[in-house]
Chain A
Amino acid sequence: MNKGRVRLAVLLALVAALSFVAVGARKVATKLAKDAAQKVYVPPGEYDEFYAFLSGGFNGQLSVVGLPSGRTLKNIAVFSVNPRNGYGFSPETKPLLMTSHGFVAWDDTHHPELSMTNGVPDGRWIFINANNTPRIARVDLKYMETAEIIEIPNSAGNHASSFVTYNTEYVTAGTRFSVPIPQRDIPIDQYKGNFKGTLSFIRVDPETGRMSLAFQILVPGYDYDLAHCGKGPSKDWCFFTSYNTEEAHTLLEINASQHDKDFIAAVNWKRAEECVKEGKYEVWNTPYAHNWYDEKKHMAFSEIVKEEKVIKPEQCPGVIYFLPTPKSPHGVDVSPDGRFIVGNGKLSATMAVFSFEKMLKAIEEKKFAGDAYGIPVLDYDSVVHHHVKNVCLGPLHTESDGKGYAYTTCFISSEIVKWKWETGEIVDRIPVYYSVGHLMIPGGDSAKPWGKYVLAMNKITKDRYLPTGPELNQSAQLIDITGDKMQLLLDFPTLGEPHYAQGIPASLIKDKQAKIYNLKENEHPYATKSEKEVKVVRKGNEVHVYMTAIRSHFVPDNIEGVKVGDTVYFHVTNLEQDWDIPHGFAVYGDDDPNILIMPGQTLTLVWKPEKPGVYPFYCTDFCSALHQEMQGYVRVSPADANPPMIWRGGGKEGKWIVE
């Protein structure tokens, strides 16, 4: 490889990225127009070939996008409330957002990863992390809704998360921000030696997907940034990058960029399991929340757990080794065959590719260059397979196409570079607009990539779309990787800030989609399964309305007897058993968003009326020709009044039950 040419290319890319971007972009667009359009065109009524799941970053959500069209199919609220359906407001969903710090309705989602069987995405669940108040969520891909959230104790900046082992035995979580563990009040400048990180392994029940914190490994106070678990020969291991091995606590931009090499932590989770079996752990008592949604009861539950197993590396030799890695590495990625591990050193133009086989040999032969807080540091030359030299400026992440090639994103030089896993030879590069972060090839971090497209998720949008004021949506770009040369096909805006994403052939998911909640199996304690069961119950100041919705009426639709000071619970059951016929429910003056009730589902809206009057409620989802008629009234009387307690609806009139 000609060094001068690479430098020139990098320089040109930089110039393109930083200044004359608009001109360059337009040229690319015109040149592309014809055959690219055919490759991304999905005719009306036809389906996309792939589902893509894009994290939403600071919107706390997970976007479901069809590829190659780039159409957004759904936005799943995970670590956020959702005005669309009342997620995070309704009593059924609120417990999902409970933590040991109380109700936390927002977070920063980064790295979705699909559950896997034998290293291949199986389409059952997708896991995603909350970076800010450390949590891991499991989204059930049958319903495409959040099914479970577990808080990670003894952690902060939950960023090296939620990566899945070969057969979804575990989901991992690592601390980007080391903190005093357990938390305590100490001066920040006593960081060194006092601040720690943890690498957590969350067990996933193979049948139900239910998560439980299996063990945490206590590690030195570096910043554990990203992770990926091994495959094939390396399947018992997970790899975590770290930066700030300087253990700086201020101006990290400079102070954490001193060392030429930081570390990749290689964790042998099978060894950790042995140590747990042999009792080589401590039981700590940092409380954390575990929340799950009960599919039958249509309701989430939350419990606080107060026990976790903490493994100290010195008590469990062989559980962790450090691989020196140039320089402040960001992503760590494993080749599909599990033989190679690449550290994407964001401050180095050279990437180190490690050999797993060499790593095992070096461990066996004790080829250590020293230790860090008692953790063996492997000799660099004994574990490196090769270097990918002069890749680009700011390499961040790598995915694979399953044909022997790796694709690395370069943030500073705004490009994707294609190279050979085996030799490190660079074979192609393509500019992206602008400043790409993660990339995603469907299955591209698994043992069996579907190497047809790469999706570049760019951090800077600038002039790519019609301007929308100072704030612009982040931009994604779809690139065809079936030929020798990568070909840019499509730009599309995304929601929030996608970090990582996952992709899977639609055929593995689409036929398993739930279309309704079966009314017969609805075990919600306030379900009203037919209009005959409708009732209104007063329990002191609580009024429970057992309500039904069906095209195009609510029963009851007149309610009298509510008084100021009451809390009214509208438990609405959608009696429909037909796909895509939700009903919505909102009442005048309510603080919370509407609830959107799926067919066969029960959801609750809680309302505290403050003034006497007659308040309308209505269906918020245009459900039928007579949708506009789907309305009703609640009468609210003064606190000291004695109104009749009655309801009407469905051609009937009823009296309240007073308990």
Chain B
Amino acid sequence: MKKYVGYALAAAAVLALAFAAKCEIPAKMPPPGLPKGIGPYAEKELKLDPCIDKELAKKGEQLFEQYCSGCHKITERYVGPPLKGVTLARSPEWIMNLLLNTEEMIWNDPIANALLQQYLTVMRPSPDMTEKDFRAVYEYLRYVDATDQTVVK
């Protein structure tokens, strides 16, 4: 019960903030208290803006196309899991840890390891991708979850 109250409060807060900022695209926020995983964001907080940064999301879409789409689709299973809803199901810190500290995450984080057991392919983000690039891809996935669209318009 307490959890739902928390969700409701969080949702209300986000909505309030979004309205206050008059977002073009208000983001949907993940519920608080999700696990953060293992890695550089384990102890940090990734502060999320209540508004989608469309420019960043556009850049993320391009990077996703180039570096991620060989293995991931938005709505269907491919080599790896479909990514729609991921920004609501996982904390931003967990996602960044998975991208930046993949090897350790897939073997030692219980959620990532369960996914490895389900999909049976080792995830390998491109070594070309920087932390900024990953953040852009994350913004793209946030955009997808906020708008139900896969193309940033």
Which A residues lie at the B interface, using CB under 8 A?
Answer: 516, 518-520, 529-532, 548, 550-553, 575-578, 581, 624-626, 650-651
Given contacts A532-B65, A548-B70, A625-B120, contact A577 B127 (CB under 8 A): yes
Which one of B44-52, B73-81, B90-98 is at the A interface?
B73-81
Is there contact, CB below 8 Å, between A550 and B70? yes
Is there contact, CB below 8 Å, between A553 and B79? yes
Given contacts A550-B70, A575-B70, contact A624 B121 (CB under 8 A): yes
Total inter-chain residue pairs, C-beta < 8 Å: 47
Is there contact, CB below 8 Å, between B69 and A552? no
- A553 proximity list for chain B (CB < 8 A): 79
Is there contact, CB below 8 Å, between B124 and A577? yes
Q: How far is the CA of A649 from the CA of B56 in the complex (A)?
A: 30
- B73 proximity list for chain A (CB < 8 A): 651
Is there contact, CB below 8 Å, between A531 and B79? no
Of the candidates B70, B121, B126, the one whose C-beta lies within 8 Å of that of A531 is: B70
- A576 proximity list for chain B (CB < 8 A): 124
- Most chain B Cβ neighbours within 10 Å, of A520, A551, A552, A624: A551
Q: How far is the CA of A578 from the CA of B121 in the complex (A)?
A: 13
- B124 proximity list for chain A (CB < 8 A): 576-578, 581
Q: Does B71 contact A (CB under 8 A)?
A: yes
Is there contact, CB below 8 Å, between A552 and B127? no
Q: How far is the CA of A651 from the CA of B74 in the complex (A)?
A: 12
Query: Which A-chain residue is minimally distant from B126 (CB atoms)?
Result: A577
Q: Does B128 contact A (CB under 8 A)?
A: yes
Is there contact, CB below 8 Å, between A532 and B127? no
Query: Which B-chain residue is minimally distant from A650 (CB atoms)?
Result: B78
Q: How many residues of B contact A (CB 8 A)?
A: 17
* 16 A-B pairs with C-beta separation under 8 A: A519-B66, A520-B66, A529-B66, A530-B65, A530-B69, A531-B69, A550-B71, A551-B79, A552-B79, A576-B124, A577-B67, A577-B127, A581-B124, A624-B120, A626-B121, A651-B78
Q: Is the interface of B mostly helix, strand, loop or mixed?
A: loop
Per-residue 0/1 for B107-142: is the Cβ within 8 Å of any A Cβ (1 yes, 0 no)? Answer: 000000000000011101011100000000000000
Q: How far is the CA of A277 from the CA of B122 in the complex (A)?
A: 61
Q: How far is the CA of A551 from the CA of B126 in the complex (A)?
A: 14
Is there contact, CB below 8 Å, between B69 and A532? yes
Given contacts A529-B66, A625-B120, A651-B78, contact A520 B71 (CB under 8 A): no
Query: Which B-chain residue is minimally distant from A581 (CB atoms)?
Result: B124
Q: How far is the CA of A624 from the CA of B71 in the complex (A)?
A: 13
Is there contact, CB below 8 Å, between A552 and B121? yes
Q: How far is the CA of A548 from the CA of B79 in the complex (A)?
A: 14
Q: Looking at the assembled complex, report how far the CB atom of B81 sits from the nearest CB atom of chain A, in whole angstroms.
A: 14
Q: Looking at the assembled complex, report how far the CB atom of A629 sits from the nearest CB atom of chain B, in whole angstroms.
A: 11
Q: Looking at the assembled complex, report how far the CB atom of B127 sits from the nearest CB atom of chain A, in whole angstroms.
A: 6
Is there contact, CB below 8 Å, between B121 and A530? no
- A531 proximity list for chain B (CB < 8 A): 69-70
Of the candidates A520, A532, A626, the one whose C-beta lies within 8 Å of that of B120 is: A626
Within 8 A of A (CB), among B33-90: 65-67, 69-71, 73, 76, 78-79
Q: How far is the CA of A548 from the CA of B67 in the complex (A)?
A: 13
Q: How far is the CA of A651 from the CA of B69 in the complex (A)?
A: 12
> 9 tightest CB-CB pairs across the interface, nearest first?
A550-B70, A578-B124, A577-B126, A625-B120, A575-B70, A624-B121, A551-B121, A530-B65, A530-B66
Q: How far is the CA of A519 from the CA of B78 in the complex (A)?
A: 21
Q: How far is the CA of A552 from the CA of B121 in the complex (A)?
A: 9
- A626 proximity list for chain B (CB < 8 A): 120-121
Q: How far is the CA of A603 from the CA of B67 in the complex (A)?
A: 20
Q: Looking at the assembled complex, report how far the CB atom of A652 sits from the nearest CB atom of chain B, in whole angstroms.
A: 10
- B70 proximity list for chain A (CB < 8 A): 530-531, 548, 550, 575
Query: Which B-chain residue is minimally distant from A578 (CB atoms)?
Result: B124
Given contacts A530-B66, A530-B69, A651-B78, contact A625 B121 (CB under 8 A): yes
Is there contact, CB below 8 Å, between A516 and B121? no
Query: Which A-chain residue is minimally distant from B124 (CB atoms)?
Result: A578
Q: Looking at the assembled complex, report how far the CB atom of B88 sits from the nearest CB atom of chain A, in whole angstroms.
A: 24
Is there contact, CB below 8 Å, between A516 and B127? yes
Q: How far is the CA of A157 from the CA of B65 in the complex (A)?
A: 54
Q: How far is the CA of A520 from the CA of B121 in the complex (A)?
A: 24
With contacts A550-B70, A553-B79 known, what are 16 further pairs, Cβ within 8 A? A518-B128, A519-B66, A520-B66, A529-B66, A530-B69, A531-B69, A532-B65, A552-B121, A576-B124, A577-B124, A577-B128, A624-B120, A624-B122, A625-B120, A626-B121, A650-B78
- B65 proximity list for chain A (CB < 8 A): 530, 532
Q: Looking at the assembled complex, report how far the CB atom of A632 sits from the nearest CB atom of chain B, in whole angstroms.
A: 15
Q: Looking at the assembled complex, report how far the CB atom of B140 sits from the nearest CB atom of chain A, in whole angstroms.
A: 15
Q: How far is the CA of A553 from the CA of B73 in the complex (A)?
A: 14
Query: Which B-chain residue is minimally distant from A577 (CB atoms)?
Result: B126
Q: How far is the CA of A516 from the CA of B78 in the complex (A)?
A: 24
Q: How far is the CA of A551 from the CA of B121 in the complex (A)?
A: 8
- B76 proximity list for chain A (CB < 8 A): 651
Query: Which A-chain residue is minimally distant from B67 (CB atoms)?
Result: A577
Q: Looking at the assembled complex, report how far the CB atom of B63 sits from the nearest CB atom of chain A, in whole angstroms.
A: 11
Q: Looking at the assembled complex, report how far the CB atom of B112 sits from the nearest CB atom of chain A, in whole angstroms.
A: 16
Query: Which A-chain residue is minimally distant from B68 (CB atoms)?
Result: A530
- B128 proximity list for chain A (CB < 8 A): 518-520, 577
- B66 proximity list for chain A (CB < 8 A): 519-520, 529-530
Q: Looking at the assembled complex, report how far the CB atom of B102 sits from the nearest CB atom of chain A, in whole angstroms.
A: 10
- A650 proximity list for chain B (CB < 8 A): 78
Q: How far is the CA of A529 from the CA of B69 in the complex (A)?
A: 11
Q: Looking at the assembled complex, report how far the CB atom of A325 sits from the nearest CB atom of chain B, in whole angstroms.
A: 55
- B67 proximity list for chain A (CB < 8 A): 577
Of the candidates A516, A551, A581, A625, the one whose C-beta lies within 8 Å of that of B71 is: A551
Q: Looking at the assembled complex, report how far the CB atom of B120 sits from the nearest CB atom of chain A, in whole angstroms.
A: 4
Is there contact, CB below 8 Å, between B79 and A550? yes
Q: Looking at the assembled complex, report how far the CB atom of B89 sits from the nearest CB atom of chain A, in whole angstroms.
A: 22
Query: Which A-chain residue is minimally distant from B64 (CB atoms)?
Result: A530
- B126 proximity list for chain A (CB < 8 A): 519, 577
Q: How far is the CA of A626 from the CA of B79 in the complex (A)?
A: 9
Q: How far is the CA of A529 from the CA of B128 in the complex (A)?
A: 14
- B78 proximity list for chain A (CB < 8 A): 650-651
Q: How far is the CA of A518 from the CA of B120 in the complex (A)?
A: 26
Q: Looking at the assembled complex, report how far the CB atom of A583 sits from the nearest CB atom of chain B, in whole angstroms.
A: 11
Q: Looking at the assembled complex, report how far the CB atom of B145 sits from the nearest CB atom of chain A, in whole angstroms.
A: 21
- A530 proximity list for chain B (CB < 8 A): 65-66, 69-70
- B127 proximity list for chain A (CB < 8 A): 516, 577-578
- A551 proximity list for chain B (CB < 8 A): 71, 79, 121
Q: How far is the CA of A553 from the CA of B121 in the complex (A)?
A: 12
Q: How far is the CA of A625 from the CA of B122 in the complex (A)?
A: 9
Q: Looking at the assembled complex, report how far the CB atom of A574 sits from the nearest CB atom of chain B, in whole angstroms.
A: 10
Query: Which B-chain residue is minimally distant from A651 (CB atoms)?
Result: B76
- A581 proximity list for chain B (CB < 8 A): 124
Q: Looking at the assembled complex, report how far the CB atom of A533 sits from the nearest CB atom of chain B, in whole angstroms.
A: 10
Q: Looking at the assembled complex, report how far the CB atom of B76 sits from the nearest CB atom of chain A, in whole angstroms.
A: 6
